[in-house]
Amino acid sequence: MKTGEKNSGPVVIRSILVIDDHPLYCDALAATLARIFDDCTIKTVNNLGEAIQCLDSGMIPDLVMLDLKLPDVTGYSGFFKVREKLPDVPVLVISAESANETIQMLMTSGAAGFIPKDASQNVFQDALEKIQEGMKFVPADFRPQASASVESVVTVQQVAQRIADLTPQQSRIMKLICAGKPNKQIAYELDLAEATVKAHITALLRRLRVSNRTQAAMLVNNAGLTGGGTGLSDTDARALLS
């Protein structure tokens, strides 16, 4: 996958949905987009739930700019849920997690492009121009995996899709399982009965197709899908405004 590879076709961008939980970065990105696009409606939300509400209320943006690490998602589940809602709309992923494996998994799964969170304004503009032209965009230093490793990317994609299918409560419980929390502590932190936690765990194990919570944690951690946090400093955010 290289910058300039064909996407689905040229895109006229009149509306953009920005999904990012870091307020300063979100505002900076909206300001940057307003300078690049004339007469463009830019909607910003701070989590996946707000984004889904916008889409359910009838918003169909021409472009989605999505931060991978949101407070209400696990791993790549936010990306898959947005793609499910908007299969024909380009999704440009922005993330501090810019490992080759992450970028390749996203591009293989249909992302329109990937921009590291510390990218300059010129890189953002270049990426957006490429997407308008119907091209895909990846960072200049991205190196696709050798064909022998593609199977591992497909496996990560399959695991990510299973996680995307978890309910919000199951996703919260999965994060706490990966953090090594016992059922009693999970029940306390989520204000649930321990029996309810056990029921959720039984359901999520079934969805992940594993036998126990240890296997579930290993599956998620080995696939690099634990997520969480923004990975962004205020300096990174202000760079967009310069």
Average pLDDT per block of 10 residues along the chain, 242 residues long: 56 92 88 88 94 94 93 80 90 88 83 91 89 90 62 60 81 86 92 92 86 76 49 41 38
CB atoms within 10 A of CB 184: 10
Q: Which CATH class is domain 149-222?
A: mainly alpha
CATH dotted code for 15-146+228-239: 3.40.50.2300
Sign of torsion, CA 185 189 194 196?
Answer: negative
Which residue, 119, 53, 118, 63, is CA-closest to 92?
Answer: 63
Instruction: Calculate the CA dihedral of residues 94, 99, 100, 101 and round it to 10 degrees.
Output: -100
Say what the pLDDT of residue 150 is.
45
Report whether 183 contacts 192 (CB < 8 A): no
pLDDT at 20: 93
Please report the pLDDT score of residue 235 as a whole number: 43
Domain with CATH 1.10.10.10 in the chain: 149-222
CA-CA-CA-CA torsion sign (23, 27, 29, 33): positive
Q: Check if the beta carbon of residue 49 is closer than 8 Å to that of residue 136.
A: no
Q: Where does CATH 3.40.50.2300 sit in the chain? A: 15-146+228-239
pLDDT at 229: 37
pLDDT at 161: 75
Residue 173 token pair: 């419980």
Q: What is the pLDDT of residue 221?
A: 65
CB 66 within 8 A of CB 94: yes
Q: Which two tokens stand for residue 163?
A: 């996680």
Instruction: Give the alpha-carbon dihedral of 219, 221, 227, 232, to 10 degrees.
Output: -160
What's the confidence (pLDDT) of residue 223? Answer: 56
Report yes or no on whether pTM surpasses 0.75. no
